[in-house]
Structure 1
Amino acid sequence: MTKPLLRSLLLSASLLCSFPAMAENDSIALNSKLSVAGQMTADKFSALLKQHHFKSVIVNRPDQEQGNAVTVNELRNIAEKSQVSVIYQPVTSGKISQTDIIEFAKYYQELPKPILMVCKSGSRSAALFNQAKAQGLLNE
């Protein structure tokens, strides 16, 4: 395993253990261009779009994941009313691959900002961002 990959994996593991609790209807900004949010409902999603003026959304939670209250198509329908694009990049919790990281980095570079990333708790979305950043894949 290469040192940069090991470093990004350790960073992700520490993030999963120390990710701050977020208010039920809130998101956490990882930088000025990207925020993460956990468990989503249609009402929470609508409120976040309106409150923070996100221009793009990346959904990392698979539709079929247990406890998922809203599908990506439902989120996309809400977002389209606000002219916000939604990308579905499902990632299995605890199994982020290098392909996932590279795919996320591509979206991060190309999508209009600010971006909201959505998963169950915000941890796997934050891990994608932090691993891509640690590998130098994000032009910031």
Structure 2
Amino acid sequence: MEIRQIDQDFAVAGQIGAEHVQAIADAGFRSVVCNRPDSEEGAVPHDQVEAAVRAAGLEFRFIPVVSGAVTQDDVSDMAAALAALPKPVLAYCRTGGRCTNLYGLVQQTAG
């Protein structure tokens, strides 16, 4: 698992599984956001990751975003989650790229 720090409160990663959650908690993250739809080939069902995240005492949000088709609702949902979740937040998708792009759109909207 490779974590890429975007800023002080937000980082991204590619697909994670329940086996990665303890390392995420140990790294100091307090929340995890899944931006990968369960229907994508190779996706780990978000409920499996969510169960591990919650068992580790972290917060979890499922905001599935279709690759290459980010909607305004996706941006609004992510902005609301980032405003509400304890920081720092780790978001994941297939490679981390979608999460990075979505975060950039949230920042543009907020700015």
TM-score, normalised to structure 2, is 0.92
| Structure (1 or 2) with the greater strand fraction | 2
Q: Is the aligned partner of 1:59 residue 2:34?
A: yes
Q: Which residue does the alignment assign to 2:72?
A: 98
Are the equivalent residues in 1 in contact too, given 2:30–2:86 (CA < 8 A)?
Answer: yes
Q: Structure 2 stretches of 5 or more lacking a match?
A: none
Q: Distance in 2 between matches of 1:107 and 1:74?
A: 20
What RMSD, in angstroms, separates the aligned Cα atoms of the two structures?
Answer: 1.3
1:43-93: CA deviations, max 9, x gaps?
23332222x12111110001121011x211111111122211111100000
Q: Distance in 2 between matches of 1:39 and 1:89?
A: 14
Q: Structure 1 stretches of 5 or more lacking a match?
A: 1-24
Runs of 4+ in 1 over 6 A off after TM superposition: none
Letter in 1 for 2:83: Q
Identity fraction in percent = 29
Equivalences, count = 111
Are the equivalent residues in 1 in contact too, given 2:18–2:53 (CA < 8 A)?
Answer: no
1:70-117: CA deviations, max 9, x gaps?
211111111122211111100000000111111111111111001010
Larger C-alpha radius of gyration, 1 or 2?
1
Q: Which residue does the alignment assign to 2:18?
A: 42
Q: Distance in 2 between matches of 1:106 and 1:126?
A: 16
